[in-house]
Chains A and B, each alone.
Chain A
Amino acid sequence: MKFPKLDKKKLIIFLGIIGPGLITANVDNDAGGITTYSVAGAQFGYPILWTLIPITILLIIVQEMCARMGAVTGKGLSDLIRENFGVKVTFFIMVGLLVANFATTVSEFAGIAAAGEIFGLSRFILVPLCAITVALLLLKFNYKSLEKIFLLMILFYVSYIISGVMANPDWGEVGRQLITPTFQLSSAYIIILVGLIGTTIAPWMQFYLQSSIVEKGINAKDYAYSKVEVMLGCVMTDVVSFFIIVCCAALLFTNGIVINNAADAAIALEPLAGTLAKALFAVGLFGAGLFGAFILPLATAFYVCEAFGWESGLNRKFGEAKHFYTIIGAIIAFSVGVILLPDLPLVWIMLLSQVVNGVVLPIILVAVVKLINNEHIMGEYTNSRFYNVVVTASTVILILLSGLLVVTTFWPNILG
C-alpha cells in the first residue's frame, strides 16, 4: 500500500476530503454498539480487549474496499450491485437492509430514551424532540453543512475516553491483555465475540461510506488521502470502544456487577466512580444514539433510492426527491412510534436487527469482493493477489461469525 507523504499542501487536500471515513466509522459506535462494548467489558473484563485489534483490521479491510469502489467508479454500492447482479438480488438486499436499519434506528432512539431517563427526562418529551430535530435538520440542511455537524458530533465520544481514564484501571494489565490473545470456549463468550464483530461491521456502513465518498466528489486521484482517512476513522472508533470496555472492566467486572445495557452501566458506575462518571456515560450514550438516528435513516434512503433509480440527496428539495425524504421520514416516524409504545418490544426488535444483519452481511461481502475484482468496473484498481487472499480469508471469517450470530440468536445455548 502506498501512502502520500505529508507536507502542507497535502494536508490541505486531506482536510478537504475528510468526513466520510471518520463519520461512518464513528457512527459504528452507536447506541447498540456501546451497549455491546459495555456488556463485554462488565462480563469478561480485560481479557476481551485483544479482540479489538483483529476487529479493527477486519473493519479497515472491508471499509477500504468500499471507499476504493466509491472513489474509482463514482457510484454507490447499491448502484453497482443493481448494475451487476440484477434487480432481484438488489431487491432482496434492500428489503433486508430496510428492516435491519429500521430496527437499528429504533435502538438509537431507545438509547436516547435511556440516556434521558438517567437524567430524569421523560422519553415522551425527549424522543419526539430529538426526532423532530433530526428530521428538520435533514430536511433543511444540505449535506455539506450536515457533514460538519456530524464531525462535531464525534466529540460526544470523548466522554467515554474521559470515563475510561477516570476509572483508573491498571494500565500495565490493560496493555498486557490488549496484546495477549485468549479464548474461552463458552456460549456467552462466543455470543459476545460475535456481537462485537456484528456491531462493528454492519451492512449499512459499507453502503453509507461508499455513497458519502461519492457525494463528496472524491475520485481515484484523491483516493490515497481517503484511504488514510478511512483507516484513521476505524482506529478512532475502536479506541473509543477500547475505553468503554476498559471503564466497564475496571469498575464493573472487578466488582462482579452484571449489566444488560449501556444505561445499566451508567447507573452502576455512579456508586463506584461518582455522579460525573454516570453523567459522562449517559451523555455519550445520548450522543451516540442521536448520531445514529441521523445517519441510519439517511443512509437507508440513499441506497434504496440509488438502487431503484429515484432522485436522492439532501441537496434536493422535497418535491424533487419525494421517495428519498419519504423513506427518511417513515423510518424516523415509525421508530419513534415503537419507542413510545407502552409495552416496548425492544428485545424483539434488537434480535430482528441482529438476525437480518447477519443474513445480509455475507451477501454484501461476497458482492463487494466480486465487484472489486471486476476489471470492467475497477480498471487498474482491483485487489492485488496477496490482498485478495487476506480479503477472502476475512470474508470467510466474517461469514462464519455472522452465521454463528444468527444461530446463537435463536438457540443461545447451542454452544453449551
Chain B
Amino acid sequence: MVYFSQLKGKPVLDSADKKIGILVDMGFNDGEKYAEISHVIYISKNNYRKKIPWSLVKEIKDSTKTRGLEADIHLNSLESEIEPTFEKEKEFTVSKLIDKQIIDVDGLKVVRVNDVFLGKVGCMFCIVAVCVGAKSLLRSLAGEKLSETFVGKMKDHIIPWEFVESLDPEIQKLHIKLKKSKIADLHPADIADLMEDLTYKERELVFNSLDRDKAAKTIIESEPEIQKSFLKSMKMNSILEILENIPPNHAADLISLMTDDMKNEILHSMKPESARRVKEILGYTDTSVGSIMHTEFIAIPSSYTAENTIELMRKLKPSSDKVYRMYVVDEKQKLLGYLPVGNLVTAPADEKIEKLMKNKIISMQTTTSKEDAAKALVKYNLFTVPVVDENGVLKGVVKANDVISEVLPRAWKRKRYFAPERRKHGFRNNGNASKPVQSN
C-alpha cells in the first residue's frame, strides 16, 4: 500500500537500475470497487511525457532504505526494450482526482481529495481509496517526514473507492454509459441534499446519470433554490417528461417556481388532463392545504357492494397506501365516510358499502392552513386526512409527511438518517486499509 504523493516525483528505474525518468502520473481504468492502474506516466530525461503499461512494473521499492516510506519504481525490462507511447487527453489519471471535489456517497458529503491511496488487490494494482483528511492535507503541504513527525499517530480520513463518485465530466460520462453511477443507489432525498453542495454544472452531470424515475423523485425532494436551478438548465422536453411523471401536487410546486412565460408554455404542452389537475392545485393559495394535497385517491360510491369494490380494486391496482384509506362518496362526490380495509375484505360479497363504512370522519377544507392541518394530524393521530371544498365534495388527500416537511424548519431535514451500514461490511473490515505499509 502506498500513497500517490509518495510515488509522484520518484525515479522510474529499468531492470538494470538505470533511471529512465520521473513518475508524474498514473492512468487508471475505473471500476466498481477498485480502479485498476493501467499506466505509468513519466517525464523522460529529454522532458517528454510518456506512458508505459503497468505490466512493465516489477515492484515499488525503497532502494536506498533511507527515505522512510518513499519508494522508487522498478521495471522488469531494460530501457531499450520499452516502447513508451504518448498520453491521450481524455484518459483518466490519478492526478486528475487530486485537489478536486468528489462525492462521498456513503457519508453524503462533497469533499476535496488530498491524496490517493494505492494498493494491490489480487494481482492488480489499484486505487483503493482517496484521502480527504487533515493528515493527507498536511502531507501534501509539508511532505512525508514533517507530517509523520507531527501527526504520525493520527488517523487520516479516507473514503474507499467504492463510495467515491468523481465529478470529473469524463468519468461521469462513462458512468452514465455503463449505468453504474454510485449515486443512483441513494435515496432521492439524500441525493437532493447532495445537490446543494454541487455547482450547477455538476448538478446537471449527476442528475443526468439518474434514471427518469429517480431523477423525478430527486427534483421533488430538492429545495426550491435547487429546483429553480434545474428548471433553468433543463430542456423543455425533459421538464415536461418529469412533470408528467410526478403527482400533480408536486408538478404544481415546480410550475409555481417558473416565470409566467414558462408556466404558460409548459401548461400548454402538457397533456390536457394533467394540465387541468395542475391548474386546479395552482388555484389554491400557497399557505393552504389545497396547494399540497394529493389529487389521486380512491373514492367509492356508497351504492357499491363489497364485491363491486373489490372488482374495482382489481382493475385500478392502487398502491397499498391508497388502499389503507378508501373514501366513500355519494352520487355528487360528497364525502360520506371512509372504508376500513378490514371491513371490506371480511364482508359478504353483496353487503352495501354504506353499511361497511365509518361515517365519523375528520376532514379539512381546501382553504385550511398548513399549520392547522399539521396540528390536526398530530392531535387526531392521523396519517392522512381528506380535503373537501365548501360543498363537502372530496377534492384530495393530505398526507402527514407532506405537511410535516412544509412546517419543519429547513435545517432539520439536512441529515442522513440511515446508518452508514455498507461501510461496515465493505472495505474497512478487510483490515488491509487501516494503515499504509511499504510495498515490497
Q: Name A residues whose Cβ lies closer than 8 Å to a Cβ of B.
A: 9, 73-75, 79, 82-83, 86-88, 91, 214, 217, 219, 221, 308-309, 311, 315-317, 320
Contact = CB atoms under 8 A, between A and B. Distances in A.
Interface stretch (B36-44, B106-114, B207-215, B337-345): B106-114
Contact of B140 (A87, A309, A316): A87
A308 B112 contact: yes
Contacts of A315: 196, 410-411
A79 B199 CA distance: 11
Contacts of A320: 414
B202 interface: yes
Contacts of A309: 101, 110-113, 132
B99 A74 contact: no
Given A73-B201, A309-B101, 15 more contacts: A73-B199, A74-B199, A74-B201, A74-B202, A75-B199, A82-B99, A87-B140, A88-B140, A219-B229, A219-B232, A219-B233, A308-B112, A309-B113, A311-B197, A317-B411
B204 to A, nearest CB: 10
5 contacts: A74-B200, A87-B140, A88-B141, A308-B137, A316-B414
Nearest to B228: A217
A367 to B, nearest CB: 14
A221 B202 contact: no
A214 B112 CA distance: 18
A311 B198 CA distance: 11
Interface in B215-242: 225, 228-229, 232-233
A52 to B, nearest CB: 36
Contacts, number: 49
Contact of B100 (A83, A308, A311): A83
Contacts of A91: 141
A317 B112 CA distance: 20
A317 B414 CA distance: 10
- What are the nearest 4 A-B pairs in CB distance? A309-B112, A74-B199, A74-B200, A87-B140
Interface in B108-146: 109-114, 132, 137, 140-141
A79 B198 CA distance: 12
A215 to B, nearest CB: 10
A70 to B, nearest CB: 10
Contacts of A82: 99, 112
Contact of A87 (B99, B196, B200, B410): B99
A86 B201 CA distance: 22
A221 B228 CA distance: 13
Nearest to B113: A309
Nearest to B229: A217
Nearest to B223: A315
A12 B140 CA distance: 47
Nearest to A309: B112
Chain A contact residues: helix, strand, loop or mixed: helix
B21 to A, nearest CB: 21
Given A217-B228, A219-B229, A309-B132, A87 B137 contact: yes
A9 B114 CA distance: 46
A172 B137 CA distance: 60
A116 B232 CA distance: 47
B245 to A, nearest CB: 25
A34 to B, nearest CB: 35
Nearest to B411: A317
A86 B137 CA distance: 11
- Of B109, B113, B228, most buried by chain A (CB within 10 Å of CB) is B109
Contacts of A221: 232
A87 B114 contact: yes
A309 B199 CA distance: 14
B230 to A, nearest CB: 11
A221 B204 CA distance: 15
B200 A217 contact: yes
Nearest to B200: A74
A186 B59 CA distance: 67
Interface in B270-315: none
A87 B199 contact: no
A79 B112 CA distance: 10
Contacts of B197: 311
Interface centre among B100, B101, B111, B112 (most CB of A within 10 A): B112
A219 B99 contact: no
Contacts of B410: 315
B136 to A, nearest CB: 10
A66 to B, nearest CB: 15
A74 B110 CA distance: 15
Contact of A217 (B99, B132, B225, B259): B225
A318 B177 CA distance: 39
Most chain A CB inside 10 Å of its own CB: which residue of B99, B137, B225? B99
B99 A83 contact: yes
B111 to A, nearest CB: 5
B111 A219 contact: no
A311 B202 CA distance: 17
Contacts of B259: 9
A323 to B, nearest CB: 10
B200 A219 contact: yes
Most chain A C-beta atoms within 10 Å of own C-beta, residue among B197, B201, B259: B201
A47 to B, nearest CB: 47
Nearest to B225: A217
A315 B196 CA distance: 10
A214 B199 contact: yes
Interface string B398-440: 0000000000001100100000000000000000000000000
Nearest to A13: B259
B141 A87 contact: yes
A210 to B, nearest CB: 12
Nearest to A217: B229
A20 to B, nearest CB: 15
